[in-house]
Structure 1
Amino acid sequence: MKKISLIAAIALALSPFFIAAFLFSSQSNIGGAQNYTEKVYVAIEEEGRVGVVDTASRKVIKSIDLSEVQNGKFVGYTTHNVQVAPNGKIVLVTANVKRGVMGESESNNEDVSDDLYDKVFFIDPKTDTVTGSLPIEIDSHLAHVVINDAGTRAYVMSQEKGILYSIDLTNKKIEKSISIGEKSEPHGLRLSPDNSKLYVALIGGKAIAEVSLKNYSVLEYPLSGAVIQTAVTSDGNYVFGSVYNTKKVAWIKTQTEEQGYIDLPEDAKGSVQLYATPDSKYLYVVNQGYYFDQPIGNTVYRIDIGQKKVDQVIPAGDGPHGIVVDKAGRFVYVTNLLSKDMSVIDALSNKEVARIKIGEMPNGISMWNKDMGGTP
């Protein structure tokens, strides 16, 4: 079975798109970012950009290109994940050096200089401009990132190295590196509501890892397959994991450590991201497929958490991947890898009400609200 990387789904050769985009402009803007009440940020993986969508008009209002000159070389990135801080003051993006997009001297995809770095980029949501970046060793395969409520600390996963990085956001530096386990392939992660623990999805380790942020101890909950992402209810009672190569979603009851599974429909192709509603009543799960030679999915499941069963199947785009629910619980936003767009789902009717063109391989997704901050 051929394994497809979750960090870079398709490796591209040297792309004129990246060179032209960089030479033309690194930040294209339609209107001032400060004029909007609510925005969705999308990591457009294969284009090395972050798309910004105004939820009121449902239009892309800005495209933030992360391409840059690094140590004298033009460098393009795959932008994998994006996260808005709960206080709404910063947006972080994980970006990995895109092989083959490094100027003429680096046109060979296998020849990557040691003086290049994967990075975490910092974006100011008031202006939607890049304000800085934090270099991390190349080929770290930076996956997901989360931010604490105070906006003082971020946590970033290196899937390749099995390392969790704790980042001091005040000084923009790594303050601690925690080993999650060799070959565990940690990918997605979410914070507990009280910010005392991290719940990490282990693809290779086939488990959910609970990381204490008091002493950085790691406790694993073994599961039946590769776990891509986790979700935590806002009341803190449940943790969920998408077990990709099964037709199930795993659950853990945090107070008792009881574990179990929720069955997905028989035609499920492979779940990736999942997100709970603010009232902790429902869990939305994307049915993506595509990875690991699976058929392509095009639906989103809603799970009734109390009943622990799927109660809605919602059509979306091709290869739904990233998902977030707005802080009011009114709309669900889903990135569709293969149809290059984002679905907007009405959480009352559970129907897709809009489809917005985003770009090549839209991946991670997060939301900013002027009054309520960012989605956790």
Structure 2
Amino acid sequence: MAINAATNGVVTTVGGISGPHNVQVSPGGDRVYAVSGAAVVAELDAATYRLKASGPTGRAPAHVVVTPDGAKAYVTNYGDGTVSAYQQGDLASAKMIRVGGGPHGARPTPDGNAVVVANMKAETVDVIDTRAHVKSAAVPVGGPPVQVAISCNGRYAYATISRPAGVVKIDLQAAKVVARTAVPAAPAQTYLMPDGRTLLSADQGTEEKPGSSISLIDTESMTVTGRIATGSGPHGLVVEPTGRRAWVTNVYDGTVSVLDLPARKAIATVEVGDEPNGISFATRPPTAPAAARMQVTLPPATSRPAHADIPHDHDTTGTE
């Protein structure tokens, strides 16, 4: 689904991608990647919303990320403990990187030399060398990590931990946790403000006891400095480049909250349908779609939908 950030209106909805779990706009803003529970990653044209390419993933793909230069894309495969690596323009051929456990969220470092992965089942934050395509480190974090954010200088990673509910700060050079802070409900995604001083945590909670806010965390002191009310079960999170607006998907009430960050309040709510998950931001304004609803055709399903394998409330036990 494409939302006009200027009007908060839905531009178009793209169907045909079963069990979508995460989306990512390319650095140039011309492509949008989405993972399907049918073990497929799709590439859409950001201007026409039509399918450009698709390729195979591992089982239960969770997140897709793109390196800052746009040259490589990576998909975490929660169901089989792998990460798929793709070269620009070639989704048909994937190099499978074995990390073990259940990799979920991921983000690249600013220089693109590494992808940092939240490995929920292993309860580690893993580092993948994007030049050699091997796992180069695994840092125990004391619980299932859901998503990560990377500091502007690439020195630190921040990971949301579902149990106990909190956020940890990891020194990537020393490969260890150096600080942690608690949040009020099991967090899902996290996003770093452009100046690197504040980290946002989407505190989703559970369906039985949902969260309804995001936490603002000072990255130096690792203390919570405030909270902003959202809908029920804040999950996906993105901040636009000026740092003035953020968008949060709310999985339990089917909405997206639009946040004014300087004012620390929600200024709009967009109805989007059942269980919205990932969200990404494009600096290019949306073009007029051919229709209010578009349809794409992917290869036949080869596995169960993503949510059949990925814990809905991002709480898992056991290691691999």
The TM-score bracket by the shorter chain reads: 0.7 to 0.9
Provide closer, same or farther for how the CA distance between residues 275 and 247 of structure 1 changes in structure 2, counting only shifts above 3 A. Answer: same
Provide closer, same or farther for how the CA distance between residues 221 and 187 of structure 1 changes in structure 2, counting only shifts above 3 A. Answer: same
Task: Give the one of 24, 37, 55 matched to 1:83.
Answer: 24
Q: Residues 81-160 of structure 1: matches in 2 within 5 Å?
A: 81-97=22-38, 118-136=39-57, 140-160=59-79
Deviation at 1:305, TM superposition (A): 0.9
Q: Which amino acid aligns with 2:199?
A: L
CA deviation string 1:169-201 (max 9, x = no partner):
3233234111001xx111110000000011100
Instruction: State how far apart, in whole Å, the 1-side matches of 2:176 and 2:79 are.
Output: 30
- The sequence identity of aligned pairs, in percent, is 28
Task: Give the one of 192, 198, 204 matched to 1:288.
Answer: 204
Higher relative contact order (CA 8 A, sep 6+): 2
Do structure 1's residue 207 and structure 2's residue 124 form an aligned pair? yes
For residue 225 of structure 1, give the secondary structure of its aligned residue in structure 2: coil
Gaps of at least 5 residues in structure 1 are 1-50, 68-76, 98-117, 372-376
Aligned CA RMSD, in angstroms, stands at 1.6
Q: Which amino acid aligns with 1:185?
A: G
Gaps of at least 5 residues in structure 2 are 286-320
For residue 142 of structure 2, give the secondary structure of its aligned residue in structure 1: coil
Equivalence for 1:37: none
CA deviation string 1:144-188 (max 9, x = no partner):
01011232210001101001110123233234111001xx11111
The answer to whether the Cα contact below 8 Å between 2:57 and 2:84 also exists between their aligned partners in 1 is: no
Deviation at 1:328, TM superposition (A): 1.2
Task: Give the one of 341, 350, 356 matched to 2:270.
Answer: 356
Equivalence for 2:140: 222
Q: Residues 1-376 of structure 1: matches in 2 within 5 Å?
A: 51-66=1-16, 77-97=18-38, 118-136=39-57, 140-181=59-100, 184-215=101-132, 216-265=134-183, 268-290=184-206, 295-370=209-284
Deviation at 1:82, TM superposition (A): 0.2
Instruction: State how far apart, in whole Å, the 1-side matches of 2:179 and 2:186 are.
Output: 15
Deviation at 1:235, TM superposition (A): 2.8
Would you tell me which structure has more helix in proportion to its own residues? 1
Instruction: State how far apart, in whole Å, the 1-side matches of 2:143 and 2:174 are.
Output: 22
The answer to whether the Cα contact below 8 Å between 2:54 and 2:92 also exists between their aligned partners in 1 is: no
Equivalence for 2:312: none
Deviation at 1:258, TM superposition (A): 4.6
Instruction: State how far apart, in whole Å, the 2-side matches of 1:133 and 1:255 are.
Output: 35
Deviation at 1:255, TM superposition (A): 4.1
Equivalence for 2:303: none
Instruction: State how far apart, in whole Å, the 2-side matches of 1:257 and 1:132 are.
Output: 37
For residue 272 of structure 1, give the secondary structure of its aligned residue in structure 2: coil
The answer to whether the Cα contact below 8 Å between 1:80 and 1:143 also exists between their aligned partners in 2 is: yes
For residue 127 of structure 1, give the secondary structure of its aligned residue in structure 2: coil
Deviation at 1:289, TM superposition (A): 1.0
For residue 87 of structure 1, give the secondary structure of its aligned residue in structure 2: coil
Provide closer, same or farther for how the CA distance between residues 162 and 258 of structure 1 changes in structure 2, counting only shifts above 3 A. Answer: closer
